[in-house]
Amino acid sequence: MDFSGAVLDVDGTVVRGNDPIPGAPAGYGRLREAGIETLFVSNNPTKAPPAYVDRLGAAGYDVDAERVFTAGSVTTRYLREHHADDDLLCIGESGLIDQFAEAGLSTTDDVGAADALVASIDREFDYEDLCTALWTLERDVPFIGTDPDVVIPAPERDVPGSGAVINAIAGVAERDPDAVLGKPSDTAIEMVRERLPYPAEKCLVVGDRLDTDIALGARAGMTTVLVRSGVTDEATLSASDVDPDHVIDHLGQIGRVIG
């Protein structure tokens, strides 16, 4: 089949840390040579798209900011649509809060004034933050997570992600989030379709996670390609109910899919 568009995950698919995954730059070049329009979609909420231009460029991927969006982008859009006038208490890193500020969203540190709680990866997350989240949610305000990734690839080994923080808060508050953004949420799918305006059957989704990348592709009706270069190994794949359309070792083998 001829493809027109491809959604590419970032961490674990094209880079690990700041280094390119072996073979992946060549696979990206193969997609571009085939005339396939690419879109990088990351579930990392801490940095805005322009930061990825530099990071991916240094790793050998020629991309501009319009060809990138993140869980921060998806969460910001959702909040502007559903909580534009709310004061948001955010358990997250400064990079996420900066994105909210740039979009005109209001944040607060006042538990009693918060209209909603937003939870995300925070490498300084501690007991005080857990108390703050619990006391905020005791007021029965909306509970929003930026993305579901419990672990994320890092240069040396996998580390906890947003999902770990969200799950800790959900556990102590004894309630699930009202919405979890990033991949594979409806808002993420809407943003993919806007930037890759092709029939679903003409699009690929390539990533290393079954519950986010492959789930997004399946929900959107796109062809799914799992790469083994990130968090999913053969044992995890065999034990999962999720069935990718294709499985390859790394993006450099994408020619097996696109011909």
Provide the pLDDT for residue 181.
Answer: 98
> Residue 104, by phi and psi: left (phi above 0), alpha (psi -120 to 50) or beta?
left
How much is the mean pLDDT over the chain?
A: 96
Provide the pLDDT for residue 73.
Answer: 97
Provide the pLDDT for residue 93.
Answer: 97
Provide the pLDDT for residue 172.
Answer: 98
Provide the pLDDT for residue 157.
Answer: 86
Provide the pLDDT for residue 158.
Answer: 86
The CA distance from 235 to 162, in Å, is 24
Nearest to 180 by CA among 210, 231, 216, 131: 216
Q: 7-45, pLDDT tens digit by residue? A: 999 999 999 989 999 999 999 999 999 999 999 999 999
Q: Are 69 and 49 in contact (CB under 8 A)?
A: yes
Q: 155-214, pLDDT tens digit by residue? A: 888 899 999 999 999 999 999 999 999 999 999 999 999 999 999 999 999 999 999 999
CB atoms under 10 Å from CB of 102, counted, come to 10
The CA distance from 122 to 256, in Å, is 38
160 phi and psi angles, rounded to 5 deg: -65, 145
pTM of the model: 0.94
Provide the pLDDT for residue 259.
Answer: 87
Q: 115-137, pLDDT tens digit by residue? A: 999 999 999 999 999 999 999 99
Q: At what angle do helices 162-173 and 127-137 cross, to 10 degrees?
A: 60
Provide the pLDDT for residue 56.
Answer: 96
Provide the pLDDT for residue 61.
Answer: 95
Is residue 1 pLDDT above 80, yes or no? no
The CA distance from 23 to 39, in Å, is 18
The DSSP H or E segment spanning 107 is strand 106-107
The CA distance from 144 to 243, in Å, is 28
Q: 204-248, pLDDT tens digit by residue? A: 999 999 999 999 999 999 999 999 999 898 899 999 988 999 999
Is residue 143 pLDDT above 80, yes or no? yes
Q: At what angle do helices 186-195 and 71-82 cross, to 10 degrees?
A: 110
Residue 21 DSSP one-character state? P
Provide the pLDDT for residue 233.
Answer: 87
Q: 36-94, pLDDT tens digit by residue? A: 999 999 999 999 999 999 999 999 999 999 999 999 999 999 999 999 999 999 999 99
Question: Three-state DSSP class for 117?
Answer: strand
Provide the pLDDT for residue 155.
Answer: 83
The count of C-alpha atoms lying within 13 angstroms of the C-alpha of 208, restricted to the half-sphere facing its C-beta, is: 26
Q: Are 116 and 141 in contact (CB under 8 A)?
A: yes
Nearest to 91 by CA among 196, 192, 162, 28: 162
